[in-house]
Each structure stands twice: as C-alpha cells, then as structure tokens.
Amino acid sequence: MKSLDANQKLIVIIGPTAVGKTKLSIELAKRFNGEIISGDSMQIYRGMDIGTAKIKPDEMEGIPHHLIDIKEPNESFSAAEFQQLVRAKITEIAEKGKLPIIVGGTGLYIQSVIYDYQFPDVTGDQEFRSRLEEKAKEIGNEALHQQLKEIDPESAAKIHPNNVRRVIRALEIHYLSGGKDTQIENAQAGQLELLYNAAMIGLTMDREKLYERINARVELMLSEGLLEEVINLYEQGLRGCQSIQAIGYKEIYEYLDGHVSFDEAVSNLKQNSRRYAKRQLTWFRNKMKVKWFDTTNVNHFSKKIDEISHYVEGKLQVKSNTY
C-alpha cells in the first residue's frame, strides 16, 4: 500500500522498558501540541495497570492518550488490528491540528504502523486449528511447542509454550503456506517504505543502570499492588489467553499455581524484564532507522529533552512552544 499522507508529521518514541519514554512523551506533547498513542501491546487491556506500567491519569498532565484500556483481558489482539487502529488515530489527531506521538516498546506493532508492512495473507483453517487445540489438551502445551520447535525453532524461541494461541498460529502458517512465521516476518525486513514524515527517537541507557531501574520498577509495582492485581485476574479464571502471557503476570501465575515460591516469582519477573529490554533494543536497532539518545545521566534529563526537542524541530520543521 501507499501512504495515507506521506507528509503527515509524526513523532515515534521507542526504547526498552524503564528507560524514560513516558516522561519524554509528556514533555514533547506539551512542547509540540501533541497527543499520545500507546505503542504497547499490553496496555490495551483493562484491569492490567500496574504490571504493564500504564501511565496514571495524574501523570498525563492533561495530554490525551489513546489505545489504553480498549480491550478486556480475555480478548485477543493482533499487530494487524493495532496497525489499523493507530493509522486511524494518526489521521484523527492530525485533523484536530495536533501532532501524533507514538510511544512504546512493542517493536513489530510500531513497525507495522509506520512502514508499508504487509501482513501474511494466511487467513486460517478453523478445522486444522480446532484439531491442534484438542491436541494441546491431549499431549500438553510443552509437547505442542516442541512440534513447533522442530519445524521453526526461531519462532518457537519467541513464543512461550503456554501461549497456545500463538503456537497454533505459527503451526497453522506453516501448514497453509509451507513457510515459517519467521520467514514471513524476515521477508519484510529491509524492504519497507516509511509511510510518514516521522522523527524516530530512540532512548538508550547504560545496561547496568537500566537493569537497576528495571529491578527498582518491579519493587515499586509490588508495593503498588501488583500481586493483588494478578490475583484478581487469576480469580476470574483467566487462563491461556494472550494478556496473561505478559511479563509481570505469567510469573505470578506460576506462584499462584504453586510451581514456584513468591521470591522465585519476583526473581523471574526481574530477570524476564531485563531479558525483554535486551530483546527490545536488538529489535529496534536491527529493524528501524532511529536517532538514538542516551539517558544514562537521569540528573541531566531536562537537558536531554531540550536536545531531543531541537532534533524534532529540525526533522519535522515544527516549532516548539518552549522557546
């Protein structure tokens, strides 16, 4: 497809978890008369606030936020749906005379919006899918995941065995197209046309400093009631759905199921968050053309915001209302 409007100006803020994207997005929205679109695949779910580090209403400082709390935790959500919703939001915000700002860390989702990303035309086979769902009940999630590993080890490495829906989808793609989920994804890389006039801002940080911030964020989440939030979902009987595979939820589910101690669950949560941050950085550096800004010295963050604002002014030919 071609761009809806190749001249449409857009700010995109990406980077690993806990690096400071939310704070920057608010400041840029105030300076450039912007509205924020969440680029996080889990902040769409209602009732999943603490574990997804969802921005609190009093932190928004009056800036409108979009694509937060639009789904129930038992509903599925795809990158293709995200692509459609965000492109519509970009147009809607622009028509109000505001500057759209996408903020988040879910790489494929953001890539699918700003580039000419075509999703594989593999519509699905309900009969095949139903057979696999029954098979998962018979042989277990791990055994089904092992079958995917034999066919497409790269996809298997990205998908948790308990995320049965995604395991089945990857097997279904192989069955219907003869190709691999990762082959289809990789075919997109390096051949994508940027659809917007976008200022691509990436935040990075010294690894040890970032890991310290991630660990501290987990402790803060726990003090704010993460355990109670997950117990509420657990007691609703939510199982095997997309939302519960999120980091911060699956680890505590393991504790509630009696598989690990609470301390082990917290340790796993911190470790998985650190690993996710590493994967996020790898994705953004390999898949997207980004202007990187180092935020290791958080005491000078206001100066970093000024530096980023100047970059946006030059890249998009817009004027900040700060000066």
How far apart CA 236 and CA 230 sit, in angstroms, is 10
How far apart CA 21 and CA 63 sit, in angstroms, is 15
Residue 58 confidence (pLDDT) above 90 = yes
C-beta separation of 164 from 133 below 8 A:
yes
* Neighbouring C-beta atoms of residue 223, cutoff 10 Å: 9
Q: What is the mean pLDDT of the chain?
A: 88
Residue 2 confidence (pLDDT) above 50 = no
How far apart CA 139 and CA 161 sit, in angstroms, is 12
In this prediction, residues 227-241 reach a mean pLDDT of 93
* pLDDT tens per residue, range 268-285: 999 999 999 998 898 888
Query: Model pTM?
Result: 0.81
* pLDDT tens per residue, range 140-160: 888 888 888 888 787 788 788
In this prediction, residues 18-40 reach a mean pLDDT of 96
**187 confidence band (pLDDT: 50, 70, 90):** very low
How far apart CA 141 and CA 34 sit, in angstroms, is 44
Better-predicted residue by pLDDT, 214 or 174: 214
* pLDDT tens per residue, range 8-24: 999 999 999 999 999 99
Cβ-based neighbours of 105, under 8 Å, separated by 6 or more: 14, 15, 16, 17, 21, 39, 40, 280
Residue 321 confidence (pLDDT) above 90 = no
In this prediction, residues 183-202 reach a mean pLDDT of 74
Instruction: For residue 124, report the phi and psi dihedrals to the nearest 5 degrees.
Output: 120, 160
How far apart CA 213 and CA 116 sit, in angstroms, is 35
Q: What is the pairing mode between strands 65-66 and 291-294?
A: unpaired
Which of 59-63, 74-78, 311-315 bottoms out in mean pLDDT, i.e. has the lowest? 74-78
pLDDT value of residue 225: 98
**28 confidence band (pLDDT: 50, 70, 90):** very high
